[in-house]
Amino acid sequence: MTEPDRPTPTTVLFDLGNVLIGWDQTGPLADRMSAEDWQSFAEAADFPALNTAADSGVPITEIIERAAEADPRHGEIVAGYYENFEKSLTGPIDGMAEIVAQLRDSGIRLLGLSNWSAETIHHAPVVAPAISELDDIVVSGRVGLVKPDPAIFELTRDRFGLDPARTVFVDDLPANVEAAESLGFIGHVFSGAASLRADLSERGLLAQ
Domain 11-20+93-202 in CATH 3.30.1120.10: no
Q: What is the pLDDT of residues 80-126, one digit of tens each?
A: 999 999 999 999 999 999 999 999 999 999 999 999 999 999 999 99
Give the model confidence (pLDDT) of 11-43 as tens digits: 999 999 999 999 999 999 999 999 999 999 999
> Would you list the domain boundaries of the chain?
11-20+93-202, 27-88
C-alpha distances out from residue 191 to 50, 83, 158, Å: 26, 30, 28
Mean pLDDT of 160-182: 98
Q: Which of 174, 123, 208, 207 is nearest to 15 (CA)?
A: 174
The predicted model gives 134-149 an average pLDDT of 98
Tell me the per-residue pLDDT of 63-87, one tens digit each, with 9 for 90 and over: 999 999 999 999 999 999 999 999 9
